[in-house]
Amino acid sequence: MAKLNFGGVEENVITREEFPMQKALDVLKNETIAVIGYGVQGPGQSLNLKDNGFRVIVGQRKNSKTWKKAESDGWVEGETLFEIEEACERATIIQYLLSDAGQIALWPSIKKNLSPGKALYFSHGFGITFREHTQIIPPKDVDVFLIAPKGSGTSLRRLFLQGRGLNSSFAIEQDATGRAKERVLALGIGVGSGYLFETTFKKEVFSDLTGERGTLMGAIAGIFEAQYNVLRKNGHTPSEAFNETVEELTQSLMPLVAENGMDWMYANTSTTAQRGALDWKGRFRKAVEPVFEELYNSVASGKEAQIVIEANSKPDYREKLDKELEELRNMEIWQAGKTVRKLRPGN
């Protein structure tokens, strides 16, 4: 295990050089991995594992949309595609990749198939960390661990097909067999991780829920809308407001940050832009940091988990969610974006 030093703070990481694919295959050579759920993470993780040579099956409700999607991806009924309970019976490792709400609903069926020595794998710490709400409490005689890719399953698959990787965190909640660590690391390499960094279930879910509500989705969407609205109120056209708010950021500046850091992005802009950004970034930080503190405390207290569970348990939740997403989609900023994207060269 390598150690990365971040200004005096050390982190444990595992690279592909330290844990090569052949070692991962050897560790899991007698294992059958059942991927339960074929929504956000299931397709990317299962297909990457299969292409890397692991013994993988998919468990899904028959004749559902996701069953049909699995078939279209090459999984074969009765060979590599099974009803959920049968897949769990056949598996030695159950990758529990349903939504948080789906995990709660299906838990009784999963639990009865967790015989001694099996492993229960998550890609999110929600169900275990908030067990008082979810009632997901695994037996003591199974391994419990997680691999959490730092991105969507779609990104995981795309990067895999490009010969690259998506960094992932790993955590061990329960080591009943004495093999939990080698099993989880093998799976992390198998699903296509660039490197693996160590965390806990609690830290994973706290950082994940904060990130989703913060800079990854909630905060950035709110910031986009605020700037776009100010520009429009001051007479700028939808095209100009969208380009200056979203297009330039996502197509030009963020790739520079990804390539070599924020300072690199600053260095590749005008001195006018640099001066203004340096003058204003502190004000924005001071303005939003209290909101992030409130957000983190809401996550750590379990309040956010309770909100999610209560909302997802309502029979009309999906209809209400679709309505909210439709309202988002129909906002002028994102309709402007739809038009702008069509005008990109090559589209």
Give Dmax over CA atoms of the chain in angstroms. Answer: 67
- Residue of 124, 157, 213, 232 marked catalytic: 124
Distances 244 to 228, 236, 241, 274, 282 between C-alpha atoms, Å: 8, 10, 5, 16, 21
Average pLDDT, the chain: 94
Q: What is the mean pLDDT of residues 213-224?
A: 96
CB–CB of 128/199 below 8 Å? no
Q: What domains sit in the chain, N to C, each tagged with a CATH number?
A: 2-198 (3.40.50.720), 214-342 (no CATH)
Q: How far apart are CA 279 and CA 271, in angstroms?
A: 12
- The per-residue pLDDT for range 288-317, each reduced to its tens digit, is 999 999 999 999 999 999 999 999 888 898
Q: What is the mean pLDDT of residues 172-197?
A: 96
Q: What is the pLDDT of residue 83?
A: 96
Q: How far apart are CA 138 and CA 130, in angstroms?
A: 13
CB–CB of 291/83 below 8 Å? no
Q: What is the pLDDT of residue 214?
A: 97
Lowest mean pLDDT among 86-90, 313-317, 319-323: 313-317
Q: How far apart are CA 47 and CA 28, in angstroms?
A: 16
- The per-residue pLDDT for range 91-106, each reduced to its tens digit, is 999 999 998 889 999 9
Q: How far apart are CA 112 and CA 84, in angstroms?
A: 12
Q: Does the active-site annotation cover 124?
A: yes
User: Given pLDDT bands bounded at 50, 70 and 90, which one contains residue 3?
Assistant: confident
Q: What is the pLDDT of residue 56?
A: 98
- The per-residue pLDDT for range 236-254, each reduced to its tens digit, is 999 999 999 999 999 999 9
Query: Strand pairing of 143-149 and 168-174?
Result: antiparallel
Residue 265, pLDDT above cutoff 80: yes
Query: Strand pairing of 93-96 and 168-174?
Result: unpaired
State the pTM of this model.
0.88
Q: What is the pLDDT of residue 40?
A: 87
User: Given pLDDT bands bounded at 50, 70 and 90, which one contains residue 1?
Assistant: low
Q: What is the pLDDT of residue 176?
A: 98
Q: What is the pLDDT of residue 299?
A: 96
Q: Which residue has the higher pLDDT, 4 or 161?
A: 161
Q: What is the mean pLDDT of residues 201-218?
A: 96
